[in-house]
Amino acid sequence: MKLKKMKIAKTMCAAALTVAAVYTVFAQPETEVVEYHTTISQGETLWDVCGRVASDEDDLSYLVWQTRKENGIQDAGNLQPGTEIVVHPRKVVRP
């Protein structure tokens, strides 16, 4: 009896893992990275710029970090108006 319950539990666990794997592969929307060019305005922060162009697929804190790195920004709190930067948010691609 105990062996039968263990087999059922293993089968259910395997089924759950299979469903999770299929969902992960097929249910997530495909994304592509796009390039967005902008010029910093007076009083605007890097978080403002990234938040304006981020998609639902983006982690905003990662996008800000990535934008700082890619644009060589040493002090994000000291952005000067007129500074041109490039942001690479994800664009959700709908089939």
11: confidence class by pLDDT, cuts 50, 70, 90: confident
pLDDT of residue 21: 53
Spatial separation of the C-alpha atoms in residues 35 and 78, rounded to whole Å: 23
pLDDT of residue 66: 95
Statement: residue 70 has pLDDT above 60: yes
Mean pLDDT of the region 61-88: 93
C-alpha distance across the termini of the chain, in Å: 49
83: confidence class by pLDDT, cuts 50, 70, 90: very high
Per-residue model confidence as pLDDT tens digits over 13-61:
666 666 555 555 555 556 677 899 999 999 999 999 999 989 888 899 9
Task: Tell me 81's DSSP state.
Answer: T
Q: Which residues contact 17 (CB under 8 A, 6 or more apart)?
A: none
pLDDT of residue 8: 74
Contact 31, 92 (CB under 8 A): yes
Q: Which residues contact 58 (CB under 8 A, 6 or more apart)?
A: 50, 89, 90
pTM of the prediction? Answer: 0.63
